[in-house]
Structure 1
Amino acid sequence: MRQTSHTKRPAVRRAVLAALSTIAVAAAASVAVVLPAGATAPPTPAGWSQVFLDDFDGPAGSGLNTADWQYTTGTSYPGGPERFGTGEIETMTADPANVSLDGAGNLRITPRRDAAGNWTSGRVETRRSDFQPPAGGTLRAEARIQMPNVTGPAAKGYWPAFWMLGAPYRGNWWNWPGVGEIDILENVQGINQVWATMHCGTSPGGPCNEKSGIGGQRVCPGTSCQGGFHTYAAEWDRSTAVEQVRFYVDGINFHTVRADQVDAATWTNATNHGYFIILNVAMGGEFPAAFGGGPDAATEPGHPMVVDYVSVLRRAGGTAPPTTPPTTPPTTPPTTPPTTPPAGNRDAYAPIQAESYDSQAGVAKETTTDTGGGQDLTTLANGDWAVYKGVDFGPAAARQFRGRVASGAAGGVSGLVEVRLDSPTAAPVGSFSVANTGGWQSWRTVPANITAITGTHDVYLTFTSGQSADFVNLNWFDFGH
């Protein structure tokens, strides 16, 4: 985070559990079980043990169980960075108006604005800070959440999150991001999108590209993120050949961070300890600022993040996978990513490796020193292009484009990275300019706005300059809403 429910009466709980007990749940815990609003948490899958669960049962207006949770109040940790280090503007409180149970089995964290324009909200943390996988095993942190149901100008400045921080942060407050942060759910501005990120290393820059971190994103499947409940989870897996953290929405693995994407010391510093869990809704700050800022006079207070349950599961090392295959495809990537990913059927909202083109003119490949390794495209100059076939934008329009670029171009040499659809001579739907970034392996992520895109297209990246000299290298690109 740097970055209508039905009452849960005991009879309803028993009925739901009885129904769910007949469902075979994969031990990988990445198969989403669709639950009605206000339903109890699903039963523990075979091969896993429950180490934490809060179903948020209690009278309407009551507070959290303080044996499990603690309220973080004010505008910072004592002696820590102002505005929690993110520039958010609200004051966090323990007032039931900001943080309370709703009597229907949910926790509500609700931003409020007073007559003077001052914002308050809520931030709560687990008292436990020892959540980590056993040696050779896996930890799964999961919550079923409806994001604040507000969109458009009324959502400007909203920043809900479900995330984890490394235990050494408590009492130090200045060792971020080295101690690690795992953002399972973040959202801003009421956009139908979930962002997931791992923070580590040093800031700014460093091996984890701070303050951005190593992130991924996708549209919520089915109902929008704001329009209904979805299950958000992270699996921290020490059973694979390369340790990794996988991120899920409704059982779909949409982002993975592997230990071999950073140096060994950075990974160890971020993962050689436990974590604690945080739920909060910030207002304003660095992340909303990247998408238009806020809050402002048009922002509507009073829209809560609604949390049905929070669950933490552990699976011991050596646990065999289930003999019944899960209903979703396996989500663990190969331990060594292919140098060139396969063409076609590409997800517009996941990074597309530049070297995975289907055809090109004038480009070359080279080994990159950028985070994650692999290859980049080099010697890109005026008139060069590459095509990436079958990029699926889905029904919700993409309006943003990002490219990971580096340039050692001479002074006065610059150019445009342009996006065109289905033809290298089509009018660009968007572009950004690039000049010297400090070197041909000095990488930065550059955003641009694009004309709305839906459906599936062949994406042409074209490179245009008023000079003939090479002006840019490209490592990867993706799109956003």
Structure 2
Amino acid sequence: MEPSRTRRVLVTAAALLAAVPAAVFATTPTDPAQAAVPPTPPGWSLRWSDDFTGPAGTQPSAANWIFDLGHGYPGGPANWGTGEVQNYTDSTRNIALDGAGNLRITALRDGAGTWTSSRIETRRADFRPPAGGKVAIESRIRLPDVTGQAALGYWPAFWALGSPYRGNYWNWPGIGEFDIMENVNGLNSVWGVLHCGVNPGGPCDETSGIGNSRACPGASCQSAFHTYRFEWDESVSPQQFRWYVDGQRFHSVSQNQFDAGTWNNMTSHAGYFVLLNLAVGGAFPDALAGKTPTPATVPGHSMVVDYVAVWTTGTTPPTTTRPDNPGWDAYAEIQAEQATARSGGVLENASEGGQAIGKLKNGDSLRFADVRFGSATARQFLARAASGATGGVSGLVEVRLNSPTAPPAGSFAIAGTGGWQSWRTVPANISGITGTHDVYVTFTSGQPAAYVSLNWVKFAA
């Protein structure tokens, strides 16, 4: 659902691919919420999940999710590039657990006619198949239970964006987008779409993308839960992307439909992050119904999410420091630009060679998956850092283990170093670390301005 997309009706249900049974973890669509992720079948491994278990009225896990706020990413396209009218918030009126194992994202309209809703994305941005294997991204969702004129403008979605989009909001669609489930205007239809290449036109016919749609099996998309799943399969040649609803395949795209450059641009990076959102208005619903929402559109309906899960199967790749194959030696230089996931900062060239993550500020973070400390005890953290912050602007660079909200294992303060390319190696003492951990480098400041750039980090005994 990213920059400058307009939509058209992709196909009618009568012209869809034949429903093909798949070895997926489908559930009966009329089941109530399960409050749990389905069991993992033999041969697969559960890599990440959230079953949204927690007290009613609380936000989803901050360790798993990032809130997208307002009308666009800072420095990115207005209205999320799609013409949506709602303001995204982190208010529990718009997004909250319901206490029964569900996440509810609710679209609201105030007395002045202003719409609000919510959008979240996974902190992890490394979802991809192991070499020669498969990855499956799945969610069980009940769409807003509203149809007809009252539903005009509702646009729920479950989708994934290529990790290089973070911090560079103008490289769409080349980095890839998988729309696993989209629905508009309360229609009993699920759309699956691939976005790639260049905009407009290109191999994915942007801004429409390559897509297909079908009615939800059995009960309508709005009246029951359905399981929506996407698979990226590297175990076959040519490789394939496949879309399913309740275990029935309704869309597929093959590697041989694209030139090598287009395919590599969307498959050779670190992976994808997953998003859930309920938009109101915008290019897709407008394309099917004229300008939306309308005065007849009824607020207060929710997209209800039972779980999100990511599984992989196949060969597990060796642990290296390649950006498309995360895993790190704690005692070697870990390049900042190869972070498994990043929130904030900008990718830029470094004066001393290579690339760096520039202009990090309060609340930003970098995540490095599976950093291996081994049996030796690391007692020092070192970072190659620079700062062009003005006088009075400073902040902390912190190391946390396994969660961005865990207590810091160590930190150092930094202010202006003489410029954003004036690099220096800054050490910090840390509590002893052994074993293997996800390492988060977080940034905390009392001022909103950017205060540090990072080229690399590493640890020492």
TM-score (norm 1): 0.60
Equivalent of residue 306 in structure 2, options 302, 305, 308: 308
- The 1-side partners of 2:285 and 2:115 are apart by 15
Aligned to 1:458: none
Q: The residue matched to 2:230 in structure 1 has which SS?
A: strand
Q: Deviations over 1:22-69 (max 9, x none)?
A: xxxxx9642523373121221001100001111101111100110010
Aligned to 2:28: 34
Residues 110 and 281 in structure 1, CA contact (< 8 A), matched pair in contact too: yes
Aligned to 1:188: 184
Residues 188 and 287 in structure 1, CA contact (< 8 A), matched pair in contact too: yes
For the pair 1:206 / 2:202, whether they are aligned, the reply is yes
- The 2-side partners of 1:317 and 1:219 are apart by 35
Q: Deviations over 1:214-263 (max 9, x none)?
A: 10100000000001000000000000011111000000010001111111
Q: Deviations over 1:66-91 (max 9, x none)?
A: 00101000100000000111010100
Aligned to 2:436: none
Residues 138 and 317 in structure 1, CA contact (< 8 A), matched pair in contact too: no
- The 2-side partners of 1:87 and 1:93 are apart by 17
- The 1-side partners of 2:215 and 2:37 are apart by 23
Residues 239 and 317 in structure 1, CA contact (< 8 A), matched pair in contact too: no
For the pair 1:101 / 2:97, whether they are aligned, the reply is yes
1:357-372, aligned counterparts within 5 Å? none
Residues 138 and 228 in structure 2, CA contact (< 8 A), matched pair in contact too: yes
Q: The residue matched to 1:201 in structure 2 has which SS?
A: coil
- The 2-side partners of 1:197 and 1:260 are apart by 17
Q: Deviations over 1:131-157 (max 9, x none)?
A: 000110000000000011100000000
Residues 22 and 248 in structure 2, CA contact (< 8 A), matched pair in contact too: no
Q: Deviations over 1:6-28 (max 9, x none)?
A: xxxxxxxxxxxxxxxxxxxxx96
Q: Amino acid of the residue matched to residue 276 of structure 2? A: L
1:323-362, aligned counterparts within 5 Å? none
- The 2-side partners of 1:297 and 1:317 are apart by 54
Residue 287 of structure 1 deviates from its aligned partner by 0.3
The share of aligned pairs that are identical, in percent, is 57
- The 2-side partners of 1:33 and 1:105 are apart by 16
Moved over 6 A (4+): none
Aligned to 2:216: 220
Aligned to 1:157: 153
Equivalent of residue 275 in structure 1, options 264, 269, 272: 272
Q: The residue matched to 1:267 in structure 2 has which SS?
A: helix
Aligned to 1:229: 225
Report which structure shows greater RCO (CA 8 Å, sep ≥6).
2
1:82-481, aligned counterparts within 5 Å? 82-273=78-269, 274-292=271-289, 293-317=291-315
Q: The residue matched to 1:290 in structure 2 has which SS?
A: helix
- The 1-side partners of 2:220 and 2:61 are apart by 30
Equivalent of residue 63 in structure 1, options 59, 64, 69: 59
Residues 89 and 285 in structure 1, CA contact (< 8 A), matched pair in contact too: yes
RMSD of aligned residue pairs (Cα, Å): 1.6
Equivalent of residue 39 in structure 2, options 43, 68, 82: 43
Q: Deviations over 1:373-419 (max 9, x none)?
A: xxxxxxxxxxxxxxxxxxxxxxxxxxxxxxxxxxxxxxxxxxxxxxx
Unpaired stretches in structure 2, ≥5 consecutive residues:
6-20, 317-461
Q: Amino acid of the residue matched to residue 275 of structure 1? A: Y
Residues 100 and 108 in structure 1, CA contact (< 8 A), matched pair in contact too: yes
- The 2-side partners of 1:207 and 1:250 are apart by 29
- The 2-side partners of 1:85 and 1:96 are apart by 25
Q: Amino acid of the residue matched to residue 119 of structure 1? A: W
75-84 vs 36-45, which moves further: 36-45
Residues 184 and 196 in structure 1, CA contact (< 8 A), matched pair in contact too: yes
- The 2-side partners of 1:305 and 1:255 are apart by 23
Q: The residue matched to 2:288 in structure 1 has which SS?
A: coil
Q: Deviations over 1:344-382 (max 9, x none)?
A: xxxxxxxxxxxxxxxxxxxxxxxxxxxxxxxxxxxxxxx
- The 2-side partners of 1:276 and 1:180 are apart by 11
Q: The residue matched to 2:294 in structure 1 has which SS?
A: coil
- The 1-side partners of 2:240 and 2:73 are apart by 30
- The 2-side partners of 1:275 and 1:41 are apart by 20
Residues 25 and 38 in structure 2, CA contact (< 8 A), matched pair in contact too: no
Q: Amino acid of the residue matched to residue 33 of structure 2? A: G
Residues 63 and 100 in structure 1, CA contact (< 8 A), matched pair in contact too: yes
How many residue pairs get aligned? The number is 296
Q: The residue matched to 1:142 in structure 2 has which SS?
A: strand
Q: The residue matched to 1:50 in structure 2 has which SS?
A: strand
Unpaired stretches in structure 1, ≥5 consecutive residues:
4-26, 319-481
Q: The residue matched to 2:150 in structure 1 has which SS?
A: helix
TM-score (norm 2): 0.63
- The 1-side partners of 2:288 and 2:129 are apart by 35
Equivalent of residue 77 in structure 2, options 75, 81, 93: 81
Q: Deviations over 1:182-240 (max 9, x none)?
A: 00000000000000000000001111100100101000000000010000000000000
Residues 29 and 45 in structure 1, CA contact (< 8 A), matched pair in contact too: no
Q: Amino acid of the residue matched to residue 300 of structure 2? A: G
- The 2-side partners of 1:62 and 1:30 are apart by 31
